[in-house]
Amino acid sequence: MTDNSQQENVKSEKISNTVFLLSIIGLFIILFAIIGICFYKYFDKVDSLINIEECLKNIKITEETYKTFTLKYNECLKNVKLIKTENHLIEKYYTIRSEWLDKWLAFTAIILSIVTVIMPIIAKKNNERFEDKTDSLFKESRELIKECDVAEKRIIEKENIINNIKNELTILKEKTEHKFKIILMRSDVNNLFNLGYLYSSLEEYDNGIKNYEKALEKLSEIISYDKNEKDYVLRYESMLNCNIGANYGKQNNYDEAIKYFDRALNLQPSNTIALSNRAGCYATIKEYGKAISDYELYMKLFPNEANNSNTYYNLIESYIFTNQIYETINYLKKYLTRKDSFIYNNDIQLWKDGVEKSTATPEQKEEINKLIDQLCEKWTKHRPD
């Protein structure tokens, strides 16, 4: 502030000096003019007289210039006064500005001191808030990571489940395709079996045998395709061999029939039809010993199925021709108690001749013949027309 006032004072001094110099210069100019006029008057009175008018004119001019100079001088004084007033105002401005600046600096210093006191507190609180937020964010992020891990595990489990389902579906598809093929092959076997049965029921035994043999070929295809179909194949193969043997038996080809019955029983020993039919074939070709062993086995293993009149009938005939007297008498008595007992007319005399040729005592022969006669009487009474 003092430097600016000094500069303004220097400026005002320079202006006053210039004004003073101009006034001195003006005075010197007037003096030189007066001296010049005296000089001209002294040295050249004639010329001065001649030029008096011009001198007067020049004096007037100088007067006019002096007046203009005085006017300018007055203006300079006014300007000096204005400059002084301006300097005064400037000094006041700078003083006021310095006062306000001091106040502003003090105010800012107070604010800065307050800020320096408050800012650490605010910073501490902000740090605490920031730490709390960061802790909460870390907790949330950890929870999210845990949830992501759980979700990833679930996704992996679901993917494993989906893969397992896909594998199960492929396996199921393969199984269904496999099962469907087995069903088709089984249906072929059933169709051939039914066709052979129809031919057999129509007494076209050769055609029946052909269809049964084709069914056997299909069964060999099934077992080569799937070993797990062994039970089905064995059951059906035994049944087909039994039916082929039955057809050969109906054609009186008992040796071939017995061969197929043997196959059926080797495949399935529980095939009661094959066992009873083989026993019947043995009885027909008069191999009564084999017939008796088959019938006895049949009655022992399957008493309910063997409890029929045909079994009793064939056993009685086999016992007669094998000279088993006690068994003959015993089974004739049992046979008479049955409601479905019967006797063929051609076998009446045949049985009696067999009894006569046997080693039975006369009393036993008489008893057997009486039983045969009772069977004939019963059959004639209850025989259907």
pLDDT tens for the chain, 385 residues long, are: 556 666 666 666 667 677 667 777 877 787 777 776 666 555 555 455 555 566 567 667 766 776 776 777 777 677 767 766 766 776 776 777 677 767 776 777 777 777 677 767 776 776 777 677 777 777 777 778 877 788 888 888 888 888 888 888 888 787 788 788 888 888 999 999 999 999 999 999 999 999 999 999 999 998 888 888 888 888 889 999 999 999 999 999 999 999 999 999 999 988 989 999 999 999 899 899 999 999 988 888 888 877 788 888 889 999 999 999 999 999 999 998 888 888 888 888 999 999 998 899 999 999 999 999 999 988 887 666 5
- Cα–Cα distance for residue pair 20/1, rounded to 1 Å: 29
Answer whether residue 54 is part of any domain. yes
Name the residue with tokens 């009564």: 288
Q: What are the C-alpha distances in Å from 43 to residues 19, 37, 39, 55, 265? A: 36, 10, 6, 15, 191
CB of 294 closer than 8 Å to CB of 282? yes
User: Is 12 in the same domain as 116?
Assistant: yes
Residue 367: helix, strand or coil by DSSP?
A: helix
pLDDT the model gives residue 4: 65
Answer whether residue 106 is part of any domain. yes
Answer whether residue 29 is part of any domain. yes
Q: What are the C-alpha distances in Å from 177 to residues 51, 185, 188, 279? A: 155, 12, 17, 44
User: Is 103 in the same domain as 209?
Assistant: no
Sign of CA dihedral 45, 50, 53, 57: negative
Name the residue with tokens 């000089």: 39
Euclidean distance between the first and final Cα of the chain, in Å? Answer: 163
Answer whether residue 196 is part of any domain. no
The enclosing domain of 250 has a CATH number of: 1.25.40.10
What amino acid occupies position 381? K
Q: Which of 97, 127, 157 is the last residue of a domain?
A: 127
For residue 102, the tally of other CB atoms under 10 A from its CB is 10
Residue 30: helix, strand or coil by DSSP?
A: helix
User: Is 238 in the same domain as 340?
Assistant: no
Secondary structure element (H or E) that encloses residue 119, with its range:
helix 52-201
Cα dihedral 251→257→260→264 (10° resolution): 100
What is the span of the domain harbouring residue 314?
A: 310-385
Contacts of residue 24, defined as CB under 8 A and 6 or more positions apart, other chains included, come to none
Q: Between helices 230-250 and 205-225, what is the axis angle to 10°?
A: 170
Number of domains in the chain: 3
User: Is 249 in the same domain as 291?
Assistant: yes
Q: Which of 275, 307, 339 is the last residue of a domain?
A: 307
Contacts of residue 378, defined as CB under 8 A and 6 or more positions apart, other chains included, come to 336, 341
Q: Which of 64, 92, 127 is the last residue of a domain?
A: 127
Answer whether residue 247 is part of any domain. yes
DSSP one-letter string for 275-344: HHHHHHHHHHTT-HHHHHHHHHHHHHH-HHHH-SHHHHHHHHHHHHHTT-HHHHHHHHHHHHTSTT----
- Cα–Cα distance for residue pair 136/259, rounded to 1 Å: 92
Measuring CA to CA, which residue among 22, 26, 7 is closest to residue 83? 7
For the record, the structure tokens of 219 come out as 């069964």
Chain-centroid distance, C-alpha 304: 59
User: Is 299 in the same domain as 335?
Assistant: no
* Secondary structure letter of residue 361 according to DSSP: -
Q: Tell me how far apart the 2 most distant CA atoms of the chain are, in Å.
A: 234
User: Is 29 in the same domain as 121?
Assistant: yes
User: Is 265 in the same domain as 374?
Assistant: no
Q: What are the C-alpha distances in Å from 9 to residues 16, 31, 73, 97, 144? A: 11, 33, 20, 19, 79
Answer whether residue 185 is part of any domain. no
User: Is 114 in the same domain as 211?
Assistant: no
pLDDT the model gives residue 2: 58
Answer whether residue 357 is part of any domain. yes
User: Is 37 in the same domain as 93?
Assistant: yes
pLDDT the model gives residue 179: 82
pLDDT the model gives residue 38: 65
Answer whether residue 360 is part of any domain. yes
Name the residue with tokens 């949330």: 140
Degrees, nearest 5: CA angle 115-121-122: 75
User: Is 224 in the same domain as 335?
Assistant: no
Residue 269: helix, strand or coil by DSSP?
A: coil
User: Is 224 in the same domain as 297?
Assistant: yes
